[in-house]
Every structure is written in structure tokens, then in C-alpha cells.
Structure 1
Amino acid sequence: MTLYYSLVFCLLVFEMAVFMGLIVPLPFTIKRKLFTFISESPVVAKLQYGLKITFIFILILFIDSVNRVYRVQLELSSFSKEGGAMGAAALGTDRMEVQARKFYSQRNMYLCGFTLFLSLILNRTYTMILELLRLEDRVKHLQGDKQTGGKDSARLASAGDLGEIGRLKEELATKDRDIETLKKQADGLAREYHNLGDKVSDKPEGPKKDL
């Protein structure tokens, strides 16, 4: 394996390790801190930028390996057609060489292909986990607002009940004062009536006229 395909293999192993780290179940607080660090760290941002450039080169290697597999397949087809014209020993040796080149080309194609495919899976998994964390934060925030709103509603209801009771008490006190005022007025009218009656009864009667 050449140096650049060895590096591609190392990158594939690194992607597998990162993917396992993403799917490992962790507490919500630890996971949120970890992904907050990853999304806000400038070092991680530079690393992601470098990986994007690396994946472009891997894509070029993948296209080259596919082209090599196609050409080797054409050579094998030509060997099958020329089998009768060439000697058996020469044909066998050349065919084994072509088969070996086909194996290496297919290996390189699968290596680059799986590396690119896993990079897409990692990107999608990372995005989904970030969305999940945002949704969990939003749910907790809404639950907190709901509980606070319930408490505020209870306080407002209690305050409303107290205000209603106070208003009724004030109305009752006002009516009591009105009743007391009416009683005093009635007592005053009764005294005036008795005084007038006494004055009328004490007045001397005049002489009666004879008919």
C-alpha cells in the first residue's frame, strides 16, 4: 500500500473512532458541553476545514481507482478473447498479474469509497445530535416557563380572590353605614312625630258653640 492510501486508511480508522464517540450514550450535560466546545472551538473549525480539503483529494483518488478497475476489467476481457492465440504459461502469468492489479485497484476503490461515505455519515450524525440538543434545551425551557406561568397564574388568582373579598367587604361596610344613617333618620322622624303629637294633645280646646 502506497503512502497516500495508508493515510486514507488511517483517516478511515479515525472516522470510525469519532463515529463510535458520537453514538456513545452520555449524560445530557456532558454531551451539551462537549458539542458546545466542538462547535465553538477555533482549533476544531480549522481541523474541519483541513479535513474538507483532504476529502477532496480522497475523492480524486476514488475516481482514479474506479478508472483503474475499469481498465483492468477491460484487460481481463481481452485476455479471455486471446486465450487461444497465446501460450498457456504466458497467459497464466499475465492473467495473474492482471488479477493482482485488479485486486489492488478494487481495494483502493473500496477504501476511498468507504472513507467518503463515512464522512457523510459523520456530518449528518453530528448535525442531528446538535439539533437534538437544541430541541431538548427548548423543551426544558418551555417546561420551566410553563411551571413559572402556572405559579404566576396561581398568584394572580389568589390576588384576584383577595381583591374580590376586599371589594365585597367595602361594599358591606358602606351598606352598614347607610343602614345606620337610615336608622338615625327614622329615629329622628319618630321623635318629631311624638313631639308634634304631644303639642297637639296639650293645646286647650275652645268653647263649644250651642246649636
Structure 2
Amino acid sequence: MSIQWTLIAGVMYVELAVTIFLLIPIISPQRWHSIFKSRFLRSIGNMSHIYFKVFLGVLSLFFLDAIREMRKYSYELSEQQRGDHGYHLDAEMQAHMRLFRAQRNFYISGFSLFLWVVLQRLMTLISNLAVAMAEGHAALKQAKTASETAAQLLKQDKADKEEDQQKEANVSNEIKELKEDKRRLEAERDAALKQAEAVSREYDRMLEEHAKLQEQMKKASGAEESKKDD
């Protein structure tokens, strides 16, 4: 195997190992997201889209070259088999060997290209999942806080209603007491008026009696004076 295809095979093995490692359920998406957002990977990630496209282009070139060689050696082998002249077994074995190498390179480059795209997509999905989980936890905390706040508000509203009801009951009791005081004062007023009328009538009667007594005294004194004159 030539050097370039050895490198492509090594890349394929590395991609396969990283893909399997990313699929291990022991490591949470949040941990992977923190690793992806580390300072080292973030410095690399600033140019990751360029690296991805360049490496994708290189793998695509190797993949197309493998297809070209596979078609070339397949055509040569078919031409040898169709030819009228005889050919040796060694030539046929060499043709099959070259075709086998071309097919091997085709599968290596194809799997490398496929795993490179899958790896990139998998890392993106893990990062998005970690962000979604973080947002979900934040939303749950916010909803819990809002629920606690709503419960406190309901409790406060209930306490305010009870306080208002107590105030209404106190006001109603005060109104009842005021009404009772009013009735009591009205009764006392009526009794005082009746007593004042009785006193007034008694006073008038006493005045009349006093006037009568004065008249009687005047008559008596007039009679005495008339007797003295006689």
C-alpha cells in the first residue's frame, strides 16, 4: 500500500474510533459540549469550516481517483478476457491484483469520506443537544421559580382576601354597634323628652297654683283691710 493510501486508511481508523467514542453513552452531551468549547478546540474551531471543506475536498479527490482506477483496471481485465490472443496466468493475476487494490482504495476513501461527514454532523448534533438540554434545565428552573412566585402571590391574595373579610366583619360589627347606640340614644332622647314634658307640665301646674295662691292671698289681705276700716 502506498503512503497516501496508508494515510487515508489511518484517517479512516481514527474517524471510526472517534465516532465510536462519541457514541459512548457514559459521557453526557454537556461534557462533550464543554470539551468542544474548550480553549484549544475553540481556537481550532474558528477555522473549522475551512479545515472541513479542505479535508472533504481531499477525500473526495482520493475517492474519485479510486473510482477512476477501479474502472480502468476493470476495463483492462475485461479487454484481456475478450481478446483473441492468449494471455498468461501471471498477467491475469496482476490485473486482478490491481483491480483488488483499486477496489480496496475505493472502499477506504469512501468510508473515510462518509465517516468525515458523519463525524462532523455528529459533533454538531451533540453540541445542539447539549445546548437544548441546558436551555431545558433553565426553562424548568424558570418555570419552577414562576410557579413558586405564583403560589406566593396566591397565598398573599388569599391572606389579603381574609384580611378584607375580617375588616368587613369588623366594619359590620361596628355598624351594628353604632345602630344599637343610635337606638339607645334615641330611646334615651325620647325618655328625656317625655321627662321634660312632664316637668314642664308640672311646672305649669305649679305656676297656676302659685297664681291661685297669690290671688287668694290678695283677697284675704283685701278682706282684712276692709275689716280694719270698719
Same fold (TM over 0.5): yes
Alignment of 1:193-208 (within 5 A): 193-202=190-199, 203-204=201-202
Q: Which residue number in structure 2 is paired with residue 78 of structure 1?
A: 79
Secondary structure at the residue paired with 1:41?
Answer: helix
Contact 1:79 1:91 in 2 (8 A): no
Question: CA offset at residue 51 of structure 1?
Answer: 4.5
What is the Cα-based RMSD across aligned positions, in Å? 2.5
Whole-Å Cα distance in 2 between the matches of residues 27 and 132 of structure 1? 10
- Alpha-carbon distance change, 172 to 79 in structure 1, aligned in 2, over 3 angstroms: same
Tell me which residue corresponds to 2:115.
118
Larger radius of gyration: 2
Which letter maps to 1:120?
V
Counterpart of 1:129?
126
What runs of 5+ residues in structure 2 fail to find an aligned partner?
A: 209-230
Write the distance in 2 (CA, Å) between the matches of 1:37 and 1:22: 16
Structure 1 stretch 186-195 or stretch 32-41: which is displaced more?
32-41
Match of 2:182 among 168, 171, 185: 185
Structure 2 length as normaliser, TM-score?
Answer: 0.78
Distance 1:16 1:45, change over 3 A: farther
CA, structure 1 residues 59+49, in 2 after alignment: closer, same or farther (shift >3 Å)?
same
Partner of 1:23: 23
| Distance verdict in 2 for CA 1:5–1:131, change over 3 Å | same
Aligned partners of 2:13, 2:49: CA distance in 1, in Å? 17
Moved more, 115-124 or 185-194: 185-194
Q: Residues of 2 paired with 1:29 and 1:79: CA distance?
A: 59
Cα offset, 1:123, TM superposition: 1.7
**Quick one: percent identity of the two aligned structures?**
19
Q: Secondary structure of the equivalent of 1:137? A: helix
Match of 2:64 in 1: 63
Given the superposition, is the C-alpha separation of residues 117 and 7 from structure 1 closer, same or farther in structure 2, using an over 3 Å criterion? same
Distance 1:44 1:193, change over 3 A: closer
**1:143-178 deviations in Å (ceiling 9; x for gaps):** 212211221111001100111122122222222332
Unaligned stretches of 5+ residues in structure 1: 207-211
The one-letter amino acid paired with 1:111 is: I
How many residues of Structure 1 are paired with residues of Structure 2 in the alignment? 203
Distance 1:64 1:166 in 2: 86
1:134, 1:50 → 2: CA distance?
A: 24
CA–CA distance in structure 2, aligned partners of residues 122 and 53 of structure 1:
15
Compared CA separation, residues 114 and 29, structure 1 to 2 (3 A): closer
Q: Distance in 2 between matches of 1:123 and 1:133?
A: 16
With the length of structure 1 as denominator, give the TM-score of the two structures.
0.84
Q: CA separation of 1:162/1:97 partners in 2, compared to 1, >3 Å: closer, same or farther?
A: same
